[in-house]
Structure 1
Amino acid sequence: MAVDHQGPTGSADPRPNPHATADEIEAAYKDPKLANVLYHDWEAGTYDEKWSISYDERCITYATDRFRAVAGDVGPYGHALELGCGTGFFLLNLMQGGVIGKGSVTDLSPGMVEVALRNAEQLDLPVDGRVADAERIPYDDDTFDLVVGHAVLHHIPDVAAAMREVLRVLKPGGKFVFAGDPTNVGNFYARKLGQLTWWLTTNVTKLGPLSDWRRPQEELDESSRAAALEAVVDLHTFDPSDLERTARSAGAVGVRAVTEELSAALFGWPVRTFEAAVPREKLGFGWAMFAYKTWQRLSWVDEKVLAKVLPREVFYNVSVTGRKPV
């Protein structure tokens, strides 16, 4: 498998920086792009574990189902780019699911690109990668059959500029699919639930009988600092109609936004927050299966029942697709 880890000019990419200095952190609060680099470099090594990301049948099915729900098909597509790739979750699982043949990844975070390429190599998938800004994609016009992203648009300062770049690098008739970004309403209740769960868990576990369930204070402090920086890197929430208009204004055709997760999000965010607030060894395989199976059942309720009677704006996730004109 060929792995290209060169920057757009052929020079080596910047090295990952998982240990930012206090001065860098302070500067990041005024520079959202720097904040994204520092935060995601710091998260890269543990990101898959934190979000229960895997590269097996569970996440292959999840990724292909999300793709089909918004795109209306599962390809196959020849050459695809993942924008803001993180650890490669979306692209690599779509490749394993037969949706994509060859892949490229970009991210502002050198650490994330490094982990994504390592994951691709371990899976023996043909992927190249570059550290790059989504507003200036370092590939030629008309390069890709497909551009994908998962939970990335809300990190990009100028979403409209990124959309124009996506359309530039797509071949005529090529498609983009961006999934998993927060809606305006969904972000509100998810944040509130997360804050409440964190407060309850960290305070209840101060009690003597439950002290074994309390994470060490230095780990809790680190998580709190991460949450503070996360508020800097999460730049946007979206109204589905506004997101469609942004894509059309960039020149896309066949634009469509869909939403998902309501009851699943109301369950999932407290669960994720609880998991972050207690020692990992306290929660075993049984807990993991309970959380996953419950989330699956609630997602079914959201898709088959609630989506038919409630406005799309109240759901947590929004995804958008469209094509470059022929």
Structure 2
Amino acid sequence: MATDPAPNPHATAEEVEAAYKDTKLAQVLYHDWEAGTYDEKWSISYDDRCITYATDRFRAAAGDVGPYEHALELGCGTGFFLLNLMQGEVIKKGSVTDLSPGMVEVALRNAEHLGLDVDGRVADAERIPYDDNTFDLVVGHAVLHHIPDVEAAMREVLRVLKPGGKFVFAGDPTNIGNFYARKLGQATWWLTTNITKALPVLGDWRRPQEELDESSRAAALEAVVDLHTFDPDQLEATARRAGAVGVRAVTDELSAALFGWPVRTFEAAVPREKLGFGWAMFAYRTWQNLTWVDQNVFAKVLPREVFYNVSITGKKTS
């Protein structure tokens, strides 16, 4: 077996310049740079809060919570989805892959700290390095929008699934959801950074300029790695063309996203120590309550296309 490449968290200017012409290099550089702070940035944890979130999202898409004997997470990031599903007893044994060596390294380290049975490989989603008919389940969270050829990746997913095996991909942006999330995030970043710069009394609420510059460079590269947004109908059609059966897409988060994106952007623009536990609980509880409203009110009266997240499930033929 070939040795996986080492993480590269500090790309050179020349490498970054090349990444604007090579989307897969951009994926590696951006996510290697993000790997060490990704859990903190997105408030990812491996406790009851995120176990509940992951299992709820899985159940909403898949219609069940297993258990599944052996699952692969595609584009694993730091392992958020797979590891929390394992802790929620949806999955017994796990494998992870990601194009970013840094992300695979962090995911495996997180699994080790949690005492979970997980192996991993650095791999392209369009060429998964596992044999045919290996897994009972393939999962992914916020990964499909990073893959250049989604249909090719889904064909690979079906190849490595056992007959009758299932895939569940959650947390990718819809066309409409991505539009309002981006606009809200941009407006919040501009307001926060400019107000804290203009008012001396708020000077200690402004991140150091070098951190803001680094965040701006990361945001610029993020525009290269975010390749797709999705219409739920078209995503279902893509899965069917790849050969999946029993395909179904569901969406979630509208008011929760309208609240959540400005909050996340604000948190990225100010020193974390200024916010504290009280802010964190306010943000989380508000998001929870708005998620309930989305699921129990808006989902019953609004078309699925207006929600922020789309999840999709399907099966390999038996």
Shared fold, TM over 0.5 = yes
2:16 matched to which residue of 1?
25
TM-score by length of 2: 0.99
Q: Secondary structure at the match of 2:162?
A: strand
1:161 matched to which residue of 2?
152
Structure 1, unaligned stretches of length 5 or more? 1-9
Q: Secondary structure at the match of 1:205?
A: helix
1:226 matched to 2:218? The reply is yes
1:6 matched to which residue of 2?
none
1:240 matched to which residue of 2?
232
CA deviations over 1:229-268 (Å, ceiling 9, x no partner): 0010000000000000000000100000000000000000
1:72 matched to which residue of 2?
63
1:289 to 281, 288, 293: 281
Give the letter for the 1:301 counterpart: V
1:146 to 124, 137, 147: 137
Q: Secondary structure at the match of 1:73?
A: coil
1:161-200 to structure 2, matched below 5 A, reads 161-200=152-191
C-alpha distance in 1 between matches for 2:291 and 2:281: 15
1:50 matched to 2:41? The reply is yes
1:209 positional shift: 1.1
1:323 positional shift: 0.3
C-alpha distance in 2 between matches for 1:300 and 1:29: 40
1:280 matched to 2:290? The reply is no
RMSD in angstroms over aligned alpha carbons? 0.4
Q: How many residues align structurally?
A: 317
Structure 2, unaligned stretches of length 5 or more? none
CA deviations over 1:103-148 (Å, ceiling 9, x no partner): 0000000000000000000001000000000000000000000000
2:262 matched to which residue of 1?
270
1:11 positional shift: 2.3
C-alpha distance in 2 between matches for 1:276 and 1:89: 20
1:249 matched to 2:250? The reply is no
C-alpha distance in 2 between matches for 1:70 and 1:173: 17
1:87 matched to which residue of 2?
78
Give the letter for the 1:254 counterpart: G
- The structure 1 segments of at least 4 consecutive aligned residues displaced by more than 6 Å after TM superposition are none
TM-score by length of 1: 0.97
Give the letter for the 1:306 counterpart: F
C-alpha distance in 2 between matches for 1:252 and 1:215: 47
C-alpha distance in 1 between matches for 2:142 and 2:196: 32
